[in-house]
Structure 1
Amino acid sequence: MYKICYLFVFSLLVNLLRKIAYPFSILYGIITSIRNFLYDVEILKATKFKTPTIVVGNLSVGGTGKTPQIEYLIRLLQNDYKIAILSRGYKRKSKGFIIADKTSSAESIGDEPFQYYKKFKDIIVCVDSNRANAIQQLEALKDAPEVILLDDAFQHRNVKAGFTILLTSYNNIYVDDIMLPTGNLREYPSGAKRANLIIVTKCPSNLNEVEQNKIIAKLKPLSHQSVFFTTISYDNELKGDSKIDLEDLKNKKNILVTGIANPQPLIDFLNDKGLIFKHLKYSDHHNFTLKEIKEIKNAYQAISTNKGTLLTTEKDYVRIFTKIKKLHYISIKTSFINHENDFKTSITSYVEQSTRNR
């Protein structure tokens, strides 16, 4: 009861603070609109590069599924092209342009880039807050990439991307949101006009075309913009310290550790699987302290006699796997509800045409 009251009061305070901050949302919206206008009329210049560049981004902060979408593009293109992933490396403890290598860690390049590096051995993974500088460095390499994927770069307009994918979450599409700090938008919904296509992510797997068309009508895409719908698919086999089937964890006490923007889809999935677990929730891209690592270990020790497991997300795993033994993670993939071949054709056609133009 105490916890419920606490959460209720906390929710009221957050809502109150957001309402108080509304004037700042208006100011922030004006600033971003002026910046976008200056790029639109080319007073501020964007650099165009010869290498095909695909941006994956969003209008809001966090939680739209950029990482699984980037991984989808890697799988789609890696057999035919040399690929580079470019990210700013959010919360990394380094600066400047870095190409991931065997000395890299989540601390040095960021958790998502390190996840890409660990998972895909034949691609280039690099970080730099200055995307234009990074692309120049990549194009100067002896074994230069043939395609560059820019992670979370929709607002980085100093690079003129060849193809732009805009993501928006099913539970909070950008037309229903407002500007930071009252809402979650980085810029007004009108910014969506820069996208080549739009993907509504984290949809229910049974979302029918009638409901899809209702969402498309709300989004009001331009005539050249296609709208796609995807869902998150979780792996039934845990990886990490060893491989465990989720079915083997039923009727056992488990610990779930998350440091992501929106863990609710994972929670719903585990509940549907019938798992019993205690959820230790942290903020997105959380840097775990030694005290927190100890708390996680103690929580797992308390249930270890029940033969449960310590479970986390893949993004969290790359941050803490060196600090905690017997840790497992669950992989996710993005899956298209329909029209997947149309999406693939859009991407491969752009890359093929751009490669010929080079």
Structure 2
Amino acid sequence: MKFLKLLLFPFSMVYGLIIWTRNRLFDFQILKSKSYDIPTIVVGNLAIGGTGKSPMTEFIIKLLKDKFKVATLSRGYGRETKGFRLVQTSSTANEVGDEPLQFKNKFPDITVSVCEDRCNGIENLMSTHEVIILDDAFQHRRLNPKFSILLFDYSSCLNPMFVLPMGNFRDLPAERKRADLILVTKTPNNATEREKEYIRSKLIRKSNVQDIIFTTIAYGQLITINGASLQISSHTDILLLTGIANPLPLIQHLKSRVNSIEHLAFRDHHAFDENDIKNIKEKFETIASDQKIILTTEKDAQRIRTPEFLKIFNTIPIAYLPIEIAFEHERIQHSVQDKLLSTCVRSVNES
């Protein structure tokens, strides 16, 4: 495996040079970035895959939605539509993407929108909103946001940070210097202080932040597709469906809480088709238990909440497990909240 990675090193060098050149063109204003008077908060990462952008975006929504007229703006990855689009609770994941649909279902009173051109999206929203939260827009250099939050997955920080295709970074790790706040997410419970100090020293170099903030995943109560709560026990057998980048933390969370887990893993943002539905049903029927359920993530639930899927599984309990971002200490959470609020208040007063 190491030998194969070494073979990819020249391609990573070429890719890295292209990305470095693009970033310098924006830094020297040869390629232009746009700024807006309205507070724009970017949540992003440098690697591909799940670093917890959605829970962080939801954390900001909860903080701001009762104080400002808030809108979220996402690309809408995996959608079959193009251009600017407002998300409705009646929308489908195929129309708007699974994460924006999750935001709208969770916070129906705020504006949720999608647009691959973030500047165009902002210009459609700014006259009727006070704050715009942009999910996964750190690489969108055409926008110069008011505040940028950059997320790193804990495990990725312990390994060498190579760009594609040798590694899993889509942008150069040195670009963290553009972030106003850096969070290390999915910190395991058994993380050592030595590991954390290593990560701090690694990330704080070539960055403008004063401290690295560690966060964990907080799991909520199971909720059925129909919105009811559901309990599991050590006697429960689970067929776990995931179409996310890194399901390992979820599996580790469930292992000590249930009797058994059968895992069907799909690629990130996978759109379930008829063959998938058939295979899922067959797999579920092979589990010899009276206490079995289908469990998925909140993001995946947006893509399986379709008439085709629910028609076949109408008598089978299907639930998802919500997650939230959790900070190591309450004072750290308050510090993050204060930074976000002060940015929004200052920008609103200046505009």
1:238 aligns with 2:223: yes
**Map of 1:257-336 to 2, 5 A cutoff?**
257-303=241-287, 306-322=290-306, 323-324=309-310, 325=313, 326-336=317-327
Distance change >3 Å, CA 172–CA 297, structure 1 → 2: same
SS of equivalent to 2:11: helix
> In the alignment, does 2:333 pair up with 1:349?
no
Q: Does 1:227 align with 2:212?
A: yes
Tell which deviates more after alignment, 197-206 or 63-72.
Answer: 197-206
Q: For 1:29 and 1:214, locate their aligned partners in 2 and report how far apart those are by CA, in whole Å.
A: 24
Aligned mate of 1:146, from 97, 111, 130:
130
CA distance in 2, matches of 1:17, 1:124: 46
Equivalent residue letter for 1:237: L
Unmatched runs of 5 consecutive residues or more in structure 2: none
Q: Once structures 1 and 2 are overlaid, which stretch shifts more, 186-195 or 170-179?
A: 170-179
With over 3 angstroms needed to count, the CA separation of the structure-2 counterparts of 1:231 and 1:273, relative to structure 1, is: same
**Which letter maps to 1:351?**
C
Deviation at 1:170, TM superposition (A): 0.5
Report how many aligned residue pairs link the two structures.
Answer: 340
Partner amino acid, structure 1, of 2:324: K
Matches within 5 A, 1:162-181: 162-173=146-157, 176-181=160-165
Aligned equivalents of 1:214 and 1:59: distance in 2?
A: 19
2:204 and 2:212 in contact (8 A); partners too: no
User: Match of 1:29, as an amino acid?
Assistant: G
**Distance in 2 between residues matched to 1:239 and 1:188, nearest whole Å:** 40
- Write out per-residue CA displacement over residues 26-82 of structure 1, whole angstroms, 9 at most, x where no aligned residue: 111000100100110111110111110000001111111101110111111111111
Give the CA deviation at 1:189.
1.3
Range moving further from structure 2, 101-110 or 171-180 = 171-180
Shift in Å at residue 236 of structure 1? 3.5
**Residues 156-167 of structure 1 aligned to structure 2 (within 5 Å):** 156-167=140-151
1:35 counterpart residue number: 22
CA shift in 2, pair 1:174/1:61, >3 Å: farther
- Over the matched positions of the two proteins, sequence identity in percent amounts to 41
1-side partners of 2:190 and 2:337: how far apart?
21
Q: 1:209 to 1:344 in 2, by over 3 A?
A: farther
334 and 275 in structure 1: CA distance in 2 versus 1, 3 angstrom threshold:
farther
Q: Deviations over 1:271-316 (max 9, x none)?
A: 1224412001111111112101111122223337522101000111
Counterpart CA distance in 2 for 1:216 and 1:194 is 17
Change (3 A) 1:17 1:278: same
Q: Output the CA distance in 2 between the equivalents of 1:235 and 1:114.
A: 19
Distance 2:96 2:208 in 1: 39
Q: Distance in 1 between matches of 2:105 and 2:9?
A: 42
What is the CA distance between 1:17 and its match in structure 2? 4.7
The equivalent residue for 1:183 is 167
Whether the aligned pair in 1 keeps the contact of 2:295 and 2:321 (CA below 8 Å) is yes
Q: Could you give the per-residue CA deviations for residues 106-141 of structure 1, whole angstroms, max 9, x where no partner exists?
A: 00000101111111011111111100111111124x
Mean alpha-carbon deviation: is it higher for 124-133 or for 17-26? 17-26
Distance 2:76 2:123 in 1: 18
Check the 8 A contact 1:167/1:199 in 2, yes or no. Answer: yes
86, 97, 112: which is aligned to 1:125? Answer: 112
Structure 1: distance between partners of 2:145 and 2:189 = 31
| CA RMSD, Structure 1 to Structure 2 (Å) | 1.8
Give the letter aligned to residue 293 of structure 2. T
Residues 175 and 194 of structure 1, relative CA distance in 2, 3 Å threshold: farther
- Equivalent residue letter for 1:294: K
Report the 3-state secondary structure (helix = DSSP H, G, I; strand = E; otherwise coil) of the residue aligned with 1:318.
Answer: helix
SS in structure 1 opposite 2:156?
coil
Q: Distance in 2 between matches of 1:18 and 1:193?
A: 27
Residue type of the alignment partner of 1:203: T
Q: CA deviation at 1:91?
A: 1.0
Conserved 8 A contact 1:203-1:230: yes
Matches of 1:334 and 1:145, distance apart in 2: 25
CA contact (8 A) 1:48 1:161 kept: yes
When normalised by structure 2's length, the TM-score is 0.92
